[in-house]
Amino acid sequence: MALLDIKGISKIYGSVKALQNIDLAVEQGEWLSIMGPSGSGKTTMMNIIGCMDKPTDGKVILDGIDISAESARNLTAIRRDKIGLIFQQFHLISYLTALENIMVAQYYHSMPDEKEALQALDRVGLLERAKHLPSQLSGGEQQRVCIARALINYPMLVLADEPTGNLDEVNEGIVMDIFRQLHSEGSTVVVVTHDPEVAEEAQRTVILEHGRIARITYNVGRESRKGE
């Protein structure tokens, strides 16, 4: 059974059809990219998969739960337990250190564990920056803190929205290395991007246009890619 099974979802905002009759399944351990131009429905798709929005029609089954039928309260719990969110804008809390930003996710999930949070920072290469505030970190470093925060509660699905959108080439490389490592360790990753190079890193790329799936491409050739 697919970890994420999207069945005929549509999302309509007033007269705007953001998504129309989307069918998509994401297997456990798969790396999927969602691409498309602005206004194609990428962010709407991410919000729905990330339990931050509900489709107008259709079903979304995540780990066997129909999240399109759950209450807002339950969606919060599902998001907390099953999904790790990575944002283009990082969204770190400005008055908390890098370490504390990670511990916030632990706090709302279960219990803060400083040792584990430090390990997460070490994993993204920022152990020595643990006590720094976001304002004292570069964009790439902030994104790595954001990734460490997304991973701290061992999510089933890592959902990244334009994770390299605000990064330079060097930092983009570092972040993509982390994603490759995640994938190699068996994490399921869904990356929403408009960058073809980032999209090509995934096993499969779904291209959205005007709220519909225009095409799906299968990316082959990378040795480290799992399942090939």
Partner 1 sequence: MFLRLVKGALFRQKKKMLMIAFTIALGASLATAMLNVMLDVGDKVNRELKTYGANINVLPKEVSLLDDLYGVSDGSGVLSESELGSLKTIFWAFNIVDFAPYLNVKARISGRDGEFRLVGTWFANHLELPTGEALDTGINNMKSWWSVEGEWPAGDDASAAMAGSIAAERAGLAVGDVISVSTGGGNGESVSLTIKGIFAAGSDEDERIYVPLSVAQGMAKRPGAVSSVEVSALTTPDNELSRRAAQNPKSLSVKEWETWYCTAYVSAICYQIEEVLTDSVAKPIRQVAESEGAILEKTQLLMLLITILSLAGAALGISNLVTAGVMERSREIGLLKALGAGNAPVSRLILTEILITGVVGGVAGYFAGLGFAQIIGQTVFGAAINIKPMVIPLVAILVFLVTLVGSVPSIRLLLSLRPAEVLHGR
- The identity of residue 69, as a single letter, is A
* Nearer residue to partner 1 within complex by CB, 18 or 182: 18
Phi, psi of 226 (to 5 degrees): -75, 145
Q: Is the dihedral of CA 97, 47, 116, 168 positive or negative?
A: negative
Under rule CB under 8 A, residue 145 binds partner 1: no
Under rule CB under 8 A, residue 154 binds partner 1: no
Under rule CB under 8 A, residue 4 binds partner 1: no
Phi, psi of 55 (to 5 degrees): -75, 155
- Residue 204: count other Cβ atoms within 10 Å of its Cβ: 17
User: Considering the complex, what minimum distance in angstroms separates the CB of residue 71 from partner 1?
Assistant: 11
Candidates 29, 39, 112, 125; binder of partner 1 (CB under 8 A) is: 112
- 194-198: long-range contacts at Cβ-Cβ below 8 A with a sequence spacing of 24 or more? 194/35, 194/36, 194/37, 194/38, 194/42, 194/162, 194/165, 195/162, 195/164, 195/165, 196/35, 198/33, 198/163, 198/164, 198/172
In angstroms, rounded to a whole number, what is the distance separating the alpha carbons of residues 144 and 226?
23
Q: Which residues contact 146 (CB under 8 A, 6 or more apart)?
A: 86, 87, 90, 91, 92
- Residue 53: count other Cβ atoms within 10 Å of its Cβ: 17
Under rule CB under 8 A, residue 49 binds partner 1: no
- The identity of residue 196, as a single letter, is P
Under rule CB under 8 A, residue 135 binds partner 1: no
Stretch that binds partner 1, among 22-30, 46-54, 195-203, 219-227 (CB under 8 A): 46-54
Under rule CB under 8 A, residue 85 binds partner 1: yes
Candidates 81, 195, 200, 209; binder of partner 1 (CB under 8 A) is: 81
Under rule CB under 8 A, residue 87 binds partner 1: yes
Cβ 1 vs Cβ 64: under 8 Å: yes
Candidates 77, 170, 214, 216; binder of partner 1 (CB under 8 A) is: 77
Candidates 47, 164, 187, 203; binder of partner 1 (CB under 8 A) is: 47
Cβ 17 vs Cβ 209: under 8 Å: no
Under rule CB under 8 A, residue 108 binds partner 1: yes
Per-residue contact flags (x/-) with partner 1 for residues 168 to 207, judged by CB under 8 A: ----------------------------------------
Candidates 53, 57, 200, 209; binder of partner 1 (CB under 8 A) is: 53
Q: Which residues bind partner 1 (CB under 8 A)?
A: 13, 43-44, 46-47, 50, 52-53, 73, 76-77, 79-81, 85, 87, 89, 91, 93-96, 100, 103-109, 112, 149, 161
